Amino acid sequence: MEKQKPTYDLDAIKSVADDPDKLEITTTATLSAAALGFDREMIISTIKSIERKHFYKSMTTIANHKIWQDVYHFPSSVGLLYIKFVAGNVLDFALVGFKKK
């Protein structure tokens, strides 16, 4: 399932970006970002630079049609990034995707 409006407030995501107690970065996102040369500080900087105009779509996960993920396409020095957020189970938000589009 997909929709063209964000499920989550981008400002809320950006506000928790600096707080490791509120923003989870999955292993997959961390490894994908590292493969592009991004460390945690660069990931956080990128998240803080995302704007509403970078929103691409909101979609449900394959495993559960009730869990929404917001996808952003963000231009970077390594090319267009595919960045995906979901509401966290334990923390406020989780970065679940960070890879080259």
Confidence (pTM): 0.89
Q: What is the pLDDT of residues 39-84, one digit of tens each?
A: 999 999 999 999 999 999 999 988 889 999 999 999 999 999 999 9
pLDDT at 90 over 60: no
Q: What is the pLDDT of residues 4-39, one digit of tens each?
A: 999 999 999 999 888 877 888 999 999 999 999 999
Q: What is the DSSP string of the chain?
A: -EESS-SS-HHHHHHHTT-TTTEEE-HHHHHHHHHTT--HHHHHHHHHH--GGGEEEEEE-SS-TT-EEEEEEEEETTEEEEEEEEE-SSSSEEEEEEEE-
- Specify the pLDDT at position 89: 61
Residue 91 confidence class, pLDDT cut points 50, 70, 90: low
Instruction: Kindly list the structural domains of the chain, giving each domain's residue range(s) and its CATH number in brackets, ordered by start.
Output: 2-100 (3.30.2310.40)
- Specify the pLDDT at position 26: 92
